[in-house]
Amino acid sequence: MSRFMVCALFICTLLFICDRFTNGIELEDIPTINVDKSQNSSFSSIQAAINSVPSNNKKWISISVSAGVYKEKVEIPSDKPFIYVKGEGMGRTRVVWNGHGSILTSATFTSLADNILVSGITFMNAYNYPPSKNVNPVMPAVAARISGDQSAFHECGFLGYQDTLLDDKGKHYFSLCTVEGAVDFIFGNGQSIYEKCNIVLNVGVLNPNSTGYIAAQARHTPDETSGFVFKHCSVRGKGHALLGRAWKAYSRVIYYASSLSNLVVPRGWDAWNFVGHESRITFVEEECEGAGSNKSKRVAWEKTLTRQELKSFTSISYIDSGGWIRRLPIHIDV
């Protein structure tokens, strides 16, 4: 056999191995629990499937959720890590509930565990959504609360009006997701990158002149590493909005290389309860484009980062210095 043929055989074998494995995990060997509303499987509810996972699980378990609308409140408790919840697409698999009032208890989906992966599912809080059909008074109504560390969401939807996505704490990665809302609809103290996500404003559905707020980040102290980074995202929708406002004293929000539509209010940002202390706040826009990206009328205290600072926040290492994303049971381009 020629040296060329030996080399070709080696490459083909390597590709075969790589095809069967993702980051060292053999996909076909991951236990799978099936959820189907037609009751043709072991479980007809997502929560029942989660409840069946052993506490303090140390290996990945997949919960495969068939297409359909699941009207239930779902929670992954803190003692059930390494769960991969897989739907059939954000337009086909939906979880819907109508909790409201408390940002900590109203969420349709709550994830308290570390090492969680979710793909192909939409989480909706129907209390004020869709706004075109809303008959309830507006109040906090969370679609998802993410409080565990090392959690990733790929091609997922989060639909609500006020306080849609509580990015509460921990390091998180949102890839190719859609988040829709009106007021502080991405909020919390998470350390997160949103990459190639659609950020959709719906505050103007009923009144085109209404103004909302996209991000309300809650970094409390200068020592905390938390912050929201919107990277290669699209910001669009109906109405007008501030890019963010400071929920806590050291709030940090960065829009990088994103497309901003004309819904963005020219001043861009709001200090909220921290007027006079704006120097503590880190609100940044770099290399953005679109009708809403003109910074000539932005607040004077908007920050400008050095190239090295910008790289440190927009690199995947900001949330993944140890390589946890590469160890997920599916491959996500980062």
Q: Which CATH number goes with the domain that contains 154?
A: 2.160.20.10
Would you say residue 121 lies in a domain? yes
Judge whether 173 and 332 are in contact, CB under 8 Å.
Answer: yes
Would you say residue 207 lies in a domain? yes
Would you say residue 247 lies in a domain? yes
Cα–Cα distance between 124 and 133 in angstroms, integer?
Answer: 14
Judge whether 200 and 143 are in contact, CB under 8 Å.
Answer: no
Under DSSP, is residue 312 helix (H, G, I), strand (E, B) or coil? helix
Would you say residue 210 lies in a domain? yes
Cα–Cα distance between 292 and 314 in angstroms, integer?
Answer: 21
Contacting residues for 307 by C-beta, under 8 A, at least 6 apart: none
Edge-to-edge strand ranges of the sheet holding 109-111: 74-76, 109-111, 144-146, 165-167, 183-188, 211-217, 240-245, 269-270
36 is catalytic: no
- Average pLDDT for 76-105: 98
The pLDDT value recorded for residue 93 is 98
Edge-to-edge strand ranges of the sheet holding 61-65: 32-35, 61-65, 83-86, 116-119, 151-154, 171-175, 191-195, 227-231, 252-256, 282-286
Would you say residue 6 lies in a domain? no
- Average pLDDT for 297-320: 98
| Cα 243 → chain centroid | 16
Lowest mean pLDDT: which of 39-43, 59-63, 117-121, 135-139? 39-43
Owning domain of residue 103 = 90-319
Q: Model-level pTM?
A: 0.92
Model pLDDT for residues 199-240, shown as the tens digit of each residue = 999 999 999 999 999 999 999 999 999 999 999 999 999 999
Q: Output the DSSP codes for 105-141.
A: T--SEEE-SSSEEEES-EEEE-SS-SGGG--SPP---
- Give the count of domains, the chain: 1
Would you say residue 204 lies in a domain? yes
Judge whether 217 and 252 are in contact, CB under 8 Å.
Answer: yes
The pLDDT value recorded for residue 28 is 56
79 is catalytic: no
Would you say residue 166 lies in a domain? yes
Would you say residue 221 lies in a domain? yes
Kindly name the residue from 163, 168, 270, 320 that is annotated as catalytic. 163
Cα–Cα distance between 66 and 142 in angstroms, integer?
Answer: 23
Model pLDDT for residues 24-56, shown as the tens digit of each residue = 455 557 999 999 988 777 899 999 999 999 999
Report the amino acid identity of residue 210. Answer: S
Kindly name the residue from 149, 167, 168, 184 that is annotated as catalytic. 184
